[in-house]
Amino acid sequence: MPLTAGKSVRNLVSSTMAPAGFHGERVERSFFEGWYVKLVSADRAHRWAVIPGLFLGPNGEPDVFIQVLDGSTGRTWYHQFDRSQFQAATDRFDVRIGANRFTSEGVSLDLPGLVGAVRYTTPLQPWPVRPWAPGIMGWYAWIPTMECYHGLLSFDHELNGTLVTDAGPATFDGGRGYIEKDWGEGFPSGYVWMQTNHFSTVGTSLSASIAMIPWRGTTFRGYIVGLRHNGSLFRFATYTGAKTTVLDIDDDQVIWSLISRDGLHLSLTADRVRGGLLHAPIRTEMHRRVEETLDAKVRVRLTDRNGSVLFDDTGECAGLEVHGDLATLLDA
């Protein structure tokens, strides 16, 4: 969210305090914004990620899109639209692209091979937004020169509705949903992202990412982890003083361990499986380069400073991306 001539301090404050809204209203070039909407049926047979967004190239050339990932098959689609078909509210989650609409109440889709509506029957559960920490990025959200910003609109909510696919109707009654978003100039050069809200306890959700972050002519390894369980949010992040103690990545697994400032230990083990290719933003274009699955598993173990187990379970139907300059990420 670069602070350009068209973006005043007042605009910056209002947009930072509303991470769900559209941040590109006054940006003319070198910008992207996308909302990640995950829908999983109650029987977990149907797993979809639908991503509406906008990309503006270095000369302002627009690319309005809706990406779709069928998590059960790994198939992906990239539907493009005219710039005039994109509308988005700046103060809330409300995006229209053509005949498709995405809001805090649900989604309505009219795409080739994917038509219907899914409502959210329980309130969204966002990462808390406070002046000193406006969302998942903490105080980093106030810095106007970050390469990429992140928002978490809902850890978990219940679904109701039906989507008609090429294979027939898919019912989402009693299913679970998740929503996050990104905006800025481009994705990090190397990162790991994982998310699941399919644990044995309904309402438990994990969102975790670690990436190389450009900073004042250099880079550092930044990370944000949120584990929401029984109404509590356990935060492990660069800005909370948490430390990564282990990060190992191979063809089969991602093993990541962290310790918080107050001595909580969090261990994440994600099983890597094949997925589908999604387009992701670099500074000049939306480039097909990121493999994502909705079929991973993540074991999560949380212990206190005395070693007592606070949480130990495996999340399924997990989203997982492992991409880019992993050597630098591991060595940082």
Q: What are the two backbone dihedrals, phi and then psi, of residue 138, each rounded to the nearest 5 degrees?
A: 60, -145
In a domain, 86, yes or no: yes
In a domain, 1, yes or no: no
SS3 19: coil
Average pLDDT for 136-147: 93
Joined together, the tokens standing for residue 73 give 């098959």
In a domain, 4, yes or no: no
| pLDDT interval class at 218 (50, 70, 90) | confident
pLDDT above 70 covers a percentage of the chain that reads 97
Has residue 2 got a pLDDT over 90?
no
Residues 6+ apart with CB under 8 A from 83: 62, 64
Average pLDDT for 200-221: 93
| pLDDT interval class at 288 (50, 70, 90) | low
Which of these, 88, 82, 98, 95, lies nearest to 25 by C-alpha position? 88
Our count of domains for the chain comes to 1
The pLDDT tens digits of the residues spanning 297-309 come to 999 999 999 999 9
The DSSP code sequence of 128-185 is PEETTEESTTGGGGG-TT-SEEEEEEEEEEEEEEEEEETTEEEE-TT-EEEEEEEEES
Beta bridge partners of 82: none
Has residue 1 got a pLDDT over 60?
no
CA Rg value for the chain: 19
C-alpha to C-alpha distances, 208 to 191, 194, 267, 297, 302, nearest whole angstrom: 11, 5, 11, 13, 14
Q: What's the length of the chain?
A: 332
pLDDT, the chain, mean:
94
In a domain, 3, yes or no: no
Q: What angle do CA 293, 222, 329 make, to 5 degrees?
A: 65
The residue that leads in pLDDT, 214 or 227, is 227
In a domain, 2, yes or no: no
Which domain range does residue 110 map to?
9-331
Query: Could you give the CA distance from residue 15 to residue 321 in angstroms, rounded to a whole number?
Result: 27
